[in-house]
Chains A and B, each alone.
Chain A
Amino acid sequence: MTTASSRGIRSVIKTGRAGRLARRALALLIGAAFVFPFYWTVVISLGRPGEFSDFPPVLLPHWDWSNWARAWHAAPWVRLFGNTVLIASSTVLLCLATSLLAGFAFGVLRFPGRKFLTMLVLAVLMMPGTVLIIPDYVLASDLHLLNTYWIQIIPWGASVFGIFLVRQFFLAIPQEILDAAALDGASRLRVLWSIGIPMVRPALVIIAVNVFLGSWNSFLWPVIMTSSSMDSSSTVQPVEVGLSTFASAEGTDFPGLAAAVTFTTLPVMAFFLVLQRQFIRGALSAAGGVRG
């Protein structure tokens, strides 16, 4: 990274003080534009009753927390959020394991039927998910998995993207490294564990981020696979489902929704902000890996 040269805009815009300034101003503007919807959501959530429909829009918060209070009491948010974290992180762990093993198999090992399996897994990516939900529901019902954490974890515990990213990293590792280890008598699992994992770590980071976000993004699946009893302390539903209760049948409590959106996404944002260096670095090196 340190040896890489400057290019792109930095050289497109003449590298002078003015150019640097213009570049920063533009970056600031774009960053602000991307964040603005979030800011506005917070403003709405802290607005006075009825204010959310004012036009021109109110752009400064009035620090009225009543919307937050109302939204907070509408659902067991802490429990729901805990469910989301549990489901997402379990899915990530499972997905990392399956991606690592299958990516290793597809990228390093040779066995009869490998090509067939590779194509089969690739085909999985092509099937529209919505049509599968009802057959999957019937299956889950037969397996007695409805209303459990399992049904929200296991089906998402394998990722085509993850498998192929790991495979890609393994393809990029000079063959000699793995072969040398094998020559020393290490078993395949041992080679995977002690040599493979460190070398594909960037891929694992980006898989973890993507699967976490994917899990956190799922909506239709948990709604169908679990039943809600919103005040029950035993609900296994994730927080996204709690959010959708605001999109009600007889009315829309928009400031309440804005409050709920704010306090449910804030922890994830905070988490991301704390770890953004790792996240972005993972994505960076994954892109490097993609180059092969």
Chain B
Amino acid sequence: MRYRIAAVASLAALSLSACAGGGTPATTTTAPAASGQELAVPTKPVTITFEEAMTIGTLKPAMEKLVSDFQAKYPNITVKLQGDPDYATMYTKEKAEVQAGNAPTMGQAYESWASYFQSGGALTPISELAGTDTPTEMSTFYKGVQKDLALGDGKTWMWPFNKSVLILFSNADMLKADGQAAPKTWDDYASVMKAVSKNGVTGSTIDPGSATAAAFGTQWFEILDKSNGGTLYDADGTPHLNDAGAVTALTYLKSLKDAGALATGKNYPGETALGAKKGAFDISSAAGYGFEKATVGGKFNLGISALPAGPAGPVNELTGTNIVVFKNASTDQKAAAWAFLKFITSPAEQAGWASTSGYLPVTAQALPLMQDFVAKNPYETAAVSELDTAFALPPHSWIFKCQGYEATAIQDVLDNGAAPTAALGTAQTACTAAKAQG
């Protein structure tokens, strides 16, 4: 396989055309890009591979649409999707592929994964593709998305892909019957949760995540911390997992659990409980709307609202991954990958992608092109506006481990009744050790 790609690539040694995407002026050579030179789209046949996990439900057709649109525009470029069943598998595959010297051209990656790959010299910086560290396309992205593309060295190493934020799903009928309004603050949320937790209903069920993977419950904790004015990690990745904000956040979760208003589970438990009318709320990704709707199955009105705010104002966290370009691709493949990245983040493609997949468009320019979808999904406007302010954890390789320690602390408190201070103290120690290990 590698041979074939190499052969194809060497055939395409010279690029003759000026068919660059995104309206930027094209150069006429594919020689390794010196600074200031954007890679031109190759005109000879070239195949690029993309390791991705958009393999289920509406995600799959949305992904395939992006590829077929791209191939229609650039018939000489073939995009081969290497689909994986889930993110954990995808990460393992990418690591194995890099180690075996047959990395894909591109792959989906969270920030901490990208940091790990970059530390091993496995990535191509965006500047090598675009000729600049800040390509013009970046300025069209939402601000939170823009900030999410750099690694610890401050350089741009990633390009946005399936981005979303968390939103609050609710059983609108249940809230109405109980005379409750959509909560505006986390304090409101706690009192509504406690009020509706009766007759077999538990306010909400969350997945706290595990030692090897964060889940929406982990992110909720991170959001609560920040909305309490806390900072879980400094920009250089120094953890503050047992600072006041974090302890307050976890104590908040514990009080809900102790009041019988919060339960824990696995495999999207909040969605399940909501659908079974055994839960009033579910904090989940905006991209999960299609799944929530299917689970509810028309049994009641599905309410959707922005996350409540904390003392430090409204806070949201980015979910989803970016795309990285691996190092050992040929120049033509890199050029083709760059064309692909620009293409899929163009407004028209983002509009189509967002409408089908449920993920949020990364550029506001897509919204006018998806008015039908926005009209049918009124939460979309509010959700995308949060992309400007949503935060992401700093991109360091150990953050992946440390999120596991966060999740473990949440489990210890909610499942085992441990004291938040003690559990977070353990997490802090472990995370500090992980940072020292690098």
Q: Does A touch B (CB under 8 Å) in the complex?
A: yes
**Chain A interface (Cβ < 8 Å from any Cβ of B):** 48-50, 53-55, 74, 133-134, 137-138, 140-142, 144, 146-147, 223-224, 227-230, 241, 244-254
Chain B positions within 8 Å of A250 at CB level: 56-57, 59, 285, 287-288, 291, 358
Q: Is the CB of A247 within 8 A of B55?
A: no
Top 6 nearest A-B pairs by Cβ distance?
Answer: A251-B291, A50-B297, A141-B100, A53-B276, A248-B56, A49-B297
Q: Is the CB of A53 within 8 A of B295?
A: yes
State the CA gap A54–B297 with chains docked (Å): 12
Q: Show 12 A/B contacts (Cβ-Cβ < 8 Å), sorted by A.
A: A48-B297, A49-B297, A50-B296, A50-B298, A55-B278, A142-B100, A146-B1, A224-B96, A228-B82, A245-B83, A253-B294, A254-B272
Within the complex, the shortest CB–CB distance from A151 to chain B, in Å, comes to 12
Determine whether B22 belongs to the interface, using a CB cutoff of 8 Å to chain A. Answer: no
Q: Which residue of A lies closest to B279 (CB)?
A: A53
Q: Which residue of B lies closest to A248 (CB)?
A: B56
Q: Is the CB of B100 within 8 A of A137?
A: yes
**Chain B interface (Cβ < 8 Å from any Cβ of A):** 1-2, 53, 55-57, 59-60, 80-87, 89, 92-93, 95-96, 99-102, 267-268, 271-273, 275-276, 278, 285, 287-288, 290-292, 294-299, 358
Q: Which residue of A lies closest to B49 (CB)?
A: A227
Q: Is the CB of A224 within 8 A of B275?
A: no
Given known pairs A53-B276, A248-B86, the reply for A138 and B57 (CB within 8 Å) is no
10 extra interface residue pairs, beta carbon distance < 8 Å, beyond A141-B102, A245-B56, A245-B85 = A49-B298, A50-B275, A50-B295, A141-B100, A224-B92, A224-B93, A227-B82, A248-B85, A249-B56, A250-B358
SS of A interface (majority): loop
State the CA gap A48–B297 with chains docked (Å): 9
State the CA gap A193–B213 with chains docked (Å): 53
Chain B positions within 8 Å of A134 at CB level: 95-96, 99
A137's partner among B1, B96, B294 (CB-CB below 8 A) is B96
Q: Which residue of A lies closest to B278 (CB)?
A: A55
State the CA gap A227–B2 with chains docked (Å): 14
Chain B positions within 8 Å of A247 at CB level: 85-86, 267
Q: Is the CB of B55 within 8 A of A248?
A: yes
Chain A positions within 8 Å of B291 at CB level: 250-253
Chain B positions within 8 Å of A228 at CB level: 55, 82-85
Q: Is the CB of B294 within 8 A of A138?
A: no
Given known pairs A134-B96, A223-B84, A251-B288, the reply for A246 and B295 (CB within 8 Å) is no
A50's partner among B273, B287, B299 (CB-CB below 8 A) is B299
Q: Which residue of B lies closest to A140 (CB)?
A: B100
Q: Is the CB of A138 within 8 A of B56?
A: no
Q: Which residue of A lies closest to B299 (CB)?
A: A50
State the CA gap A146–B80 with chains docked (Å): 16
State the CA gap A43–B297 with chains docked (Å): 18
Chain B positions within 8 Å of A55 at CB level: 276, 278
Chain A positions within 8 Å of B89 at CB level: 223-224, 244
Q: Is the CB of A229 within 8 A of B83?
A: yes
Q: Which residue of B lies closest to A225 (CB)?
A: B96
Within the complex, the shortest CB–CB distance from B360 to chain A, in Å, comes to 13
Given known pairs A244-B86, A245-B85, the reply for A49 and B96 (CB within 8 Å) is no
Q: Is the CB of A245 within 8 A of B268?
A: no
